[in-house]
Structure 1
């Protein structure tokens, strides 16, 4: 039996896995048979997929040579099992950033640099960047293509699910305790997170740059193929469960009016422009982006003193758009064009 188009999804027992299965139910992709895999301790559940319950098989007992592509959602499993998948002749899609720092592995956002997949052959590895990078670049790409780019300044406002399930649970517990007149337990955080803002995500380097900020800057430069691009990032954790917001200011090479930028963004794949100077005329992570497939853009404006400076507000569903949809879109391209 041919394995063309057959896919194994590894590490489905988490927030990203749950979201990815929902997206698979709602969209058509060029996949054949789909196998759900996880380590033995987490296997055996029966999530719904394509209208039917499907058992999560044990990774340790699965013959990877049965499939054409292995998609990893867990960085520990990607690190531990990617070599075996490559040895079995599979394409490997790292949807959790385990190989994002390897310069030999293409780092791909489906709407931005699909041409990077041309270097991939059977037994190769492709990586997807973090959801913040996806959000930034999906909105940035059409403007860069038109007017070039000199620099970017980004502030992210990230929900707990951008960090992990433990943080989501800790925020829920803190919120419940505070609303019931009890002191908040820090749990997964250094300080109280509920009803607060935490201006650091990850460890700091000698210059005071956090690991999240460094990763965002590095991956934006790499995907745009602008290794010397000045990127200043500040990543903040906010007390919401899902969704992600950014304020981005870019300085283009050529002058770009806000009106022209709006036209470009309306036509861009994966972007939804909501930019009206009226009540409710700008997008928010919860009310607009959650559960949708787009990066939403609003508050688009040009600096009155700097004709090459454009600012905007971006929101998206970090798990759906930033992880699941990008990973599945890249997998779809791999199966259609690179098997």
Structure 2
């Protein structure tokens, strides 16, 4: 029986618990360690029982079997303390993914690298952009030599944090009511802008070492939840779209749509009617010596919460 700690923003913590309730893990207790303090009205429940909430300064990390950790670089000392205390830390946001002896795992894709977990008691999911891309190209990489991979990621407000979701909603309401924004306020509503580059290439190469020419484009868009990616692969050989589609249809994590183009909004509508989130793929097209296609996933429900729980099951 497992004693699990969740250290994440409230919104993501809720989604982790939703997936833990559906998992095969035998859980005795879940505790919320508030690296980001919850508000008074925010409470978590696991199997109809209230989840204990602890301030991070008062926590004894050694009491837990697993820690689901979703903090930024400013919270890294807590992650280190948890790992040093002997519990297994699942680094949900890939905070430690750049460290050489921390395995970066996508469940059922590179499970063999889990042996490295014993080095630090830390295992990382890659950045959600990397997870989403890797799942869609895994079988293509396995069967063909790819000489160019380009990923254009359209990032929602939730990719940054839950505060950005609230800010986007507020700005949208103000602008629709004719209220201008402050000059020094970063505009999210009705606008797009490039995001600062992070080392996504290295994370993807930890999973697919054979990839060389990788380009990530990152653009912030006025969407609340859900990453959209336009992915282009080029090979020295022809890529048969029918074979690629057949592989997608055999993957339990993927839902392929022949006729309908799935967007972050339609994805959200689909996810609300399904217990298990998936990666949705559509709009595949052949190009010269390659293919191009469109993917969408709720990065919090699927790329982070669902995959983190699957990783815990795997461990």
Q: TM-score, normalised by structure 2?
A: 0.89
| Aligned: 1:21 with 2:17 | yes
The runs of 4+ residues in structure 1 deviating greater than 4 Å are 39-45
Secondary structure of the structure 2 residue equivalent to 1:108: coil
Write out per-residue CA displacement over residues 82-122 of structure 1, whole angstroms, 9 at most, x where no aligned residue. Answer: 33223322122111222111111111111322221122228
Find the residue that maps to 1:265 and give its secondary structure: helix
- RMSD, matched Cα: 2.4
Question: Please, which runs of 5 or more residues in structure 2 have no aligned partner?
Answer: none
Instruction: Normalising by structure 1, report the TM-score.
Output: 0.83
2:241 alignment partner, one of 258, 261, 272: 258
Residue-pair matches, total: 309
Q: What is the 5 A alignment of 1:3-152?
A: 5-11=2-8, 13-39=9-35, 42=38, 46-76=43-73, 79-121=76-118, 124-152=121-149
Structure 1 residue 330 corresponds to structure 2 residue 311: yes
- SS of the equivalent of 1:89 reads coil
Distance 1:250 1:154, change over 3 A: same
Contact 2:35 2:71 in 1 (8 A): no
The 8 Å contact of residues 35 and 75 in structure 2, kept in 1 or not, is answered as no
What's 2:192 paired with? 197
- Out of 283, 287, 292, the residue aligned to residue 266 of structure 2 is 287
Greater strand proportion: 2
Question: How far apart, CA to CA, are the structure 1 residues paired with 2:126 and 2:220?
Answer: 19
CA distance in 2 between counterparts of 1:197 and 1:66 reads 44
Q: Does 1:300 align with 2:284?
A: yes
- Is 1:310 aligned with 2:291? yes
CA distance in 2, matches of 1:309, 1:201: 27
Matched, 1:320 2:298: no
Q: CA deviation at 1:41?
A: 5.3
Contact 1:91 1:121 in 2 (8 A): no
The answer on whether the counterparts of 2:10 and 2:38 sit within 8 Å (CA) in structure 1 is no
Alpha-carbon spacing, 1:236–1:76, altered in 2? closer, same or farther (3 Å): closer
Partner of 1:272: 255
Indicate conservation of the 8 Å contact 1:10/1:77, yes or no: no
Q: Unaligned regions of 5+ residues in structure 1, if any?
A: 203-209, 335-339
Distance in 2, Cα, partners of 1:121 & 1:162: 30
